[in-house]
Homo-oligomer: A and B are copies of this chain.
Amino acid sequence: MRALRKSKAAPGFTLERIAVPRVGPSDVLIRVGTVGLCGTDLHIYSWDHWAQRRVKPPLTIGHEFMGHVAAVGSAVHAVEVGDRVSAEGHIACGICRLCRTGQAHICEHVQIIGVDTDGAFADYIRMPEANVWKLDPSIPDSWAAVFDPLGNAVHTVMAADVSVKSVAITGVGSIGLMAIPVARAAGAATVFAIDVNPQKLALAARVGADATFLATQPDLVEDIVARTGGDGVDVLLEMSGSGSAIDSGLAMVRNGGVAALLGIPSDDIEINLAERIIFKGLTVLGINGRRMFETWYQTQSLVTNGRVDLGPIITHELPFEDFDRAFGLMKSGEAAKIVLTLNEANA
């Protein structure tokens, strides 16, 4: 089968032919239909420091996907051949305290597909039955392919509890953009979007932000505080990983508010804990992955009830072969979310 691989410790990917994975008794083999491109894939493509420390070639990359069940192990009973599915890409151990208490998304023994183990940019992928998610037929392939990042947005929004609250989102890359309609659908009273990129802000306004702000605006914090009656926003959704965005983001939250952190800073950051968190009585939430499977049910509900429209956010749909062009579009900042098609449904 075809597979997009990190063959050796160097920049770039190669399209190779490798064997179809074998399935164990509790595994499901999925013929991959459509995949989504993530910033993580670009890190591995570029072979930056994070990638060099974490990834051990050779490895098939990719973790955002949908497809159809092609085979099932002998003990599988929740899905059958032909089912249209996506899957949770964090493979948890299933036996630790966190896994046994509904917190598998922060299992310490997690293996992430496309990072720690063979991923989804291939004709077939093997997944444990427990990770597979059956798709509602009303969901388009391109949307189903990006349930992973959409789930990140949903997890962040739902953890922060935005119902009838004012919300600021720092960083509107593809997940930050998705968080806008998700927050609106989840009941946010107002959504402010902040970024360094004016094009992303234009897209943010298009998908439902009530107001948008350049991160470089000198009186950004004062402006946003003024728009909330002088209190500050109830909720910050931090999706940039930038130290300065985190600092100004925390500054614009009202006393007693909530800051949910999803963006990953590449280095240590300096923070004035006393002024930004302690005296304010803030609640700061570290967010990782997607709750299994509460986030998936919520994501499905938002999409099937028509509350969230990914149309404007999926800016490019390309054939799998154009992966190099796709990574170029990502790097340029021109694209929001790109999906690639490997196999048609009835192929």
Contact = CB atoms under 8 A, between A and B. Distances in A.
Contacts of A261: 273, 277-278
A271 B276 CA distance: 14
Given A25-B25, A286-B282, A292 B262 contact: no
Interface residues of A, number: 69
Given A164-B186, A187-B186, A305-B189, A278 B287 contact: yes
Interface in A8-29: 25-26
A294 B101 contact: yes
B280 A164 contact: no
Nearest to A50: B274
B255 A98 contact: yes
B75 A294 contact: no
Interface string A173-201: 00000000000011111100000000000
- From A75, A288, A305, name the one whose CB has the most chain B CB atoms within 10 angstroms: A288
Interface string A293-323: 1100110011001010000000000000000
A265 B270 contact: no
Contacts of A101: 102, 291, 293-294, 297
A161 interface: yes
A298 B265 contact: no
Given A189-B302, A246-B273, A268-B272, 13 more contacts: A26-B75, A100-B293, A101-B297, A102-B294, A106-B256, A163-B187, A164-B185, A164-B186, A187-B188, A190-B305, A265-B273, A269-B271, A284-B286
Interface of A: 25-26, 74-75, 77-78, 95, 97-98, 100-103, 105-108, 154, 158, 161-164, 166, 185-190, 229, 231, 246, 254-256, 261-262, 264-265, 268-274, 277-288, 291-294, 297-298, 301-302, 305, 307
